[in-house]
Chain A
Amino acid sequence: AQTVTQSQPEMSVQEAETVTLSCTYDTSESDYYLFWYKQPPSRQMILVIRQEAYKQQNATENRFSVNFQKAAKSFSLKISDSQLGDAAMYFCAVGGATNKLIFGTGTLLAVQP
């Protein structure tokens, strides 16, 4: 079975500052994948970043990067130079050979001007 835990229901960050969203997971699969999705009020789920578990190098996409600690089963998201448009609900998810994604309960990020 796979589970995902996001322990921060809400976070707040000042514009241009850096914020880190936490995520821990559990999976019995040896080959799995991790994702961060963003969901603004429009409800549209948007992929932010993804990581294959066998890769040791942390994924980076522009201002977004992850800290993947495989042994600790931790997959945190760092947003640098936060912008007002980053305000949204962020979901961590794990997927594997079963193809379905298991999502956490989300972190609501507010960006203060």
Chain B
Amino acid sequence: GAGVSQSPSNKVTEKGKDVELRCDPISGHTALYWYRQSLGQGLEFLIYFQGNSAPDKSGLPSDRFSAERTGGSVSTLTIQRTQQEDSAVYLCASRSSGRPYNEQFFGPGTRLTVL
């Protein structure tokens, strides 16, 4: 079946503009995660959605970052008033229900460049 997809694959924007990044998880997966990977760094957790529960937003670096998940499927990560330090690869992952031990399947990521 289809894996996790993300769009766009690359995004170049100017400082101060808003951007939206999209994630389509694997069908039926109830858990969805967003991570950020800055150059030369590991992945940094941003936000986690599980079914209809309130999302875990503990990793969002500032109030310029927000995310939503509509209908328990597609998710959008929005960054308002982008800054140069927001430049990174943004990765989305989904996981089937059950234990956190279950594998997180990752998308190919969106590379965001803020000029």
Q: With an 8 A cutoff between CB atoms, is B85 at the interface?
A: no
- Distance (Å) between the CB of A34 and the closest chain B CB? 10
- Distance (Å) between the CB of B23 and the closest chain A CB? 14
How far apart sit A44 and B109, CA to CA, in the bound complex (Å)? 8
- Distance (Å) between the CB of B96 and the closest chain A CB? 13
For chain A, give the interface size range: 20 to 34
Of the candidates B41, B58, B104, the one whose C-beta lies within 8 Å of that of A101 is B104
In the complex, are the beta carbons of A100 and B45 less than 8 A apart? yes
Chain B residues close to A by CB (< 8 Å): 31, 33, 35, 40-45, 48, 50, 56, 58-59, 89, 91, 93, 100-101, 103-104, 106, 108-109, 111
Chain A residues close to B by CB (< 8 Å): 4, 6, 33, 37, 42-47, 50, 52, 91, 93, 95-106
